[in-house]
Structure 1
Amino acid sequence: MRVLGYDHPPGGWFCEPLYAPCSLFRSRDPRAPRLPRDGGLYLKFYGDEGWRFVMDRFPSYRLKHEPLDAYLVGLRARQVAEARRTDEGLRELARRGPDDALCRALWELLDELRAVGDLRLGDFGVFGSILHGFHHPALSDLDLVVYGRRALGEAREALVELYSSDPSFKNEFGPGWSPDRRWPWRSISPSEFAWHQGRKLIYGFFSSREAGRWVKFELEPVRSWGEVRNSYDPSERVRKLGWAILEATVSDASSSPFMPSSYGLEDVCFIEAPVPNPPEPDLALCYVDEFRLQAVEGERILVAGWLEEVEGPRGTRHQVVLTYGPRYHEQVIKVVGPGARCNRPSSPRPGA
């Protein structure tokens, strides 16, 4: 499990399942197997597989979300056997020293980024297989955490320079990218997806001298400690109104890199609505990793997700949420053009 987002009840954490032992879970996805150094076989979850796996089979690993009046995947403090922090994982790798080709490639990549950008070792952490010790030195990717808006901005600027001037770096979603499996998303095409992912800059390859191969890497944006605010409020009540499709202009994308990513909305125009005269949401809240950093201020976006009403001490507001559960692959956030005011008919078609 990894902690999902920053808003949690006292003594517990909402989580995202990442891996399961092969004795409990089977996968036909060729990307799934992970081999720990101490033996055994783990399988990685993709999409909403992990959410469905825990919700269906392990009810003890669920946590009540009071505002939603629903149970989500989560852990109580007494259920946590071990916690692994991504920053401490990187420091442990530094203390231990590079003991295989992938670990040497990790330091090679960090050296390249720090040589170009104003970045410190403390701006980074590691996650994924290299954190848990079941990476394959000759096959695995490098999964890095970058902490905070400042460091993320520096890292992305460094990657702009490296992609453009260093032949040993290339954007994963550059020319020639195509999906390596049956396309799951129903509201965004592979070419649209590649355009969005490519401009995020955080997914790439570099030709590692140490590993002797092109190593895939990812930078996962995480808030720095000073940016973290726990906004969980058990006195709020969230009511799901239903499925909605809308266009809106992004008014605020400052939290779009993080998970959940959020986008302030204005000039909302419904295409499909769950109720007559739908209330206008001022926020898109997204727990789907693929749609982080998807748009910037002033862009016009298409959003498909769940319209919610939130009642709390500060009044009533509305949001559209992309999350685990039904219609997972129908959800989307994508840019459809520069900002513009709504010019669609005032009466959207009702939801299915």
Structure 2
Amino acid sequence: MAEASDHVAQLRDHDCFETMEHWVFIVVGDVHPAGRVWSILKYIPGDGAWGSDGRKFVRVIQQYTVEELLKVIRFLDENQPSYVYYDPTVQAKVIAPPTDRIIRIYNSRKRLAELLSRPSNNQLEKSLISLVESLSELSGVSTEYFGVTGSILPGIHHQNSDIDLVVYGVENIWKVLEALKRLQREGMVALLGDKDPWGWAARAARRYPIPLNNLLRLASNVTNKGVYNGVAFSLHGVREKPMHRHGEVFYSSLGMARVKLRVIDVRESLFTPAVYFVEDESGSIDRIVCYDMMLAGVLREGDLVEVYGKLEAAWSNGEEAWRQILIGSYEGAGKEYIKIL
């Protein structure tokens, strides 16, 4: 934990911050408007299961879906409208509180280092420490490149909380993912794609209008989530640096589109946003971009996929730089999908 000051400029994807209302937000991505932070409101004071030091919280967003996000935006419009910002680069309203409203930041990397540096009697924290140390040893990635997010980051976790890990750097995240697979082979973790594909598919069926057998194919590829010591965990990446500075790229809508694409590069698919580089017959679409993180890491290089989402042109320096299919748009809520053919 750190008091907010010059540290605000150092906020990274998956870090948390607390505003004057004692609302806790989680940072989304690394491209932010000047004086604001793209984020999601996750916890507010209330008689909930989360808390510490006499403070108690309830969770605001229950699932990371577009429908839930729109509910949170409506809540903010009614209760603190200055936290909602029309971002001209994406031509949409986003949650982006002003930095002068931030009173405290929670750094994922520093929080994990703090937990690793001292013994703990908390069973959840013990499992976290054990998992990180095992992954670090097997992958060769120093614990300095790991962080912890979720409720453990602001220290308001409870006995049934999950472990939400982040790894910094594209090379590091894939090394750690291979270490996870090794732990699975040794029987130390159960990865979701093997342990509970039906559960993932059932949850996905409430989001995506495609048959269950297609969802099960996606579920079988989920290797960044699972169970360790009886505790659910997830693993995501944080980029070494932002994809670009805010205002350098503007996105314009070309309408909703259904296309078939071949996946050619998945290295950026475990970050926020998740990016799959693709090719199509016309050569016009360069990537699939997912802000719906349920679809992070579920495609493989060589997959032929059908995608329904928002077609966008990305503009830089007054010229069209690339085109992408966006999953996680307001316009496509409840209609977007990715299907492996």
TM-score, scaled relative to structure 2 = 0.80
Match of 1:102 among 124, 128, 142: 124
- The runs of 5 or more residues in structure 2 that have no matched partner are 1-24
Cα distance in 1 for residues equivalent to 2:281 and 2:43: 38
Distance in 2 (alpha carbons) for counterparts of 1:257 and 1:68: 21
Distance in 2, matches of 1:40 and 1:49, equals 26
Deviation larger for 56-65 or 175-184: 175-184
Say whether residues 1:35 and 2:50 are aligned partners: yes
Q: Structure 1's 228 and 289: CA in aligned 2 closer, same or farther, altered over 3 A?
A: same
Q: Does residue 1:220 correspond to 2:236, yes or no?
A: yes
Give the superposition deviation at 1:314.
Answer: 5.3
Q: Secondary structure at the match of 1:178?
A: helix
Cα RMSD, aligned residues only: 2.6
Provide the rounded CA distance (Å) in 2 between the counterparts of 1:191 and 1:206: 27
Q: Secondary structure at the match of 1:93?
A: helix
Alpha-carbon distance between aligned partners in 2 of 1:175 and 1:50, rounded to the nearest angstrom: 27
Structure 2 SS opposite 1:12: coil
Match of 1:284 in 2: 288
Which whole-Å deviations, capped at 9, do the CAs of 1:146-176 have from their partners, x for residues lacking one? 1112221221111221111x22321123155
Q: Does 1:5 align with 2:18?
A: no
**Residues 237 and 178 (structure 1), Cα distance of their counterparts in 2 relative to 1, 3 Å cut:** closer
Task: Tell me what 2:253 maps to.
Answer: 240
Q: Partner of 1:246: helix, strand, or coil?
A: strand
Relative to structure 1, the CA distance from residue 54 to residue 199 in structure 2 (aligned partners, 3 Å threshold; closer, same or farther) is closer
2:148 corresponds to: 126
What corresponds to 1:343 in structure 2?
none
Question: Which digits, 9 at most, give the CA deviation of each residue in 1:196-252, with x for residues without a partner?
Answer: 344342111123xxxxxx12111121113xx43434226x55332221111111233
Residues paired across the two proteins, number? 307
Give the Cα separation in 2 of the matches to 1:131 and 1:49: 25
The alpha-carbon distance between structure 1 residues 147 and 197, as it changes in their structure 2 partners (threshold 3 A), is farther
Distance between the aligned counterparts of 1:57 and 1:177, measured in 2? 34
Indicate conservation of the 8 Å contact 2:167/2:237, yes or no: yes
**In the alignment, is residue 185 of structure 1 matched against residue 203 of structure 2?**
no
Following superposition, the deviation at residue 39 of structure 1 comes to 4.1
- Partners of 2:91 and 2:252 within 8 A in 1: no
2:325 is equivalent to residue 320 of structure 1: yes
The one of 14, 27, 40 aligned to 2:38: 14
Q: Give the aligned residue type for 1:110.
A: V
Report the 3-state secondary structure (helix = DSSP H, G, I; strand = E; otherwise coil) of the residue aligned with 1:7.
Answer: coil
Q: How does 1:291-310 map to 2 (within 5 A)?
A: 291-310=295-314
- Offset at residue 194 of structure 1 (A): 4.3
Q: Which amino acid aligns with 2:267?
A: S
Deviation at 1:125, TM superposition (A): 0.7
Task: Tell me the distance in 2 between the aligned counterparts of 1:155 and 1:6.
Answer: 22
Q: CA contact under 8 A between 1:173 and 1:198: conserved in structure 2?
A: yes
Paired residue secondary structure (1:18): strand
Partner residue of 1:89?
Answer: 111
Instruction: Report the secondary structure of 2:74's partner residue.
Output: helix
2:218 aligned partner: 196
Q: Which whole-Å CA distance do the structure 2 matches of 1:123 and 1:188 have between them?
A: 37
Counterparts of 1:147 and 1:100 in 2: how far apart (Å)? 26
Q: What CA distance in whole angstroms lies between the structure 1 residues aligned with 2:92 and 2:86?
A: 6
What pairs up with 1:334-345 in 2 under 5 angstroms?
Answer: 334-336=339-341
Residue equivalent to 1:112: 134
Kindly, what percent of the aligned residue pairs are identical?
24
Q: CA deviation at 1:142?
A: 1.1
TM-fit CA distance, 1:5: 1.4
Cα shift at 1:184: 0.7
Structure 1, unaligned runs of 5 or more: 24-32, 208-213, 270-278, 337-352
Which has more radius of gyration? 1
Q: 1:20 to 1:268 in 2, by over 3 A?
A: farther
Counterparts of 2:250 and 2:140 in 1: how far apart (Å)?
43
Residues 265 and 283, structure 1, Cα contact 8 Å, conserved in 2: yes
Cα gap change, 1:70/1:325 in structure 2, threshold over 3 Å: closer, same or farther?
A: closer
Alpha-carbon distance between aligned partners in 1 of 2:262 and 2:154, rounded to the nearest angstrom: 40
SS in 2 for 1:187: coil
Distance 1:158 1:238, change over 3 A: closer
Q: Which residue of 2 aligns with 1:136?
A: 158
For 2:33, the aligned partner's letter is: P
Q: Confirm or deny: 8 A CA contact 1:248 1:267 kept in the other structure.
A: yes
Match of 2:275 among 262, 272, 275: 262
Measure, in 2, the Cα distance between the counterparts of 1:52 and 1:22.
Answer: 21
Of the three residues 70, 73, 80, the one matched with 1:55 is 73
Q: What TM-score do the two structures reach when normalised by structure 1?
A: 0.78
Q: Relative to structure 1, is the Cα distance of residues 223 and 311 closer, same or farther in structure 2, using a 3 angstrom cutoff?
A: closer
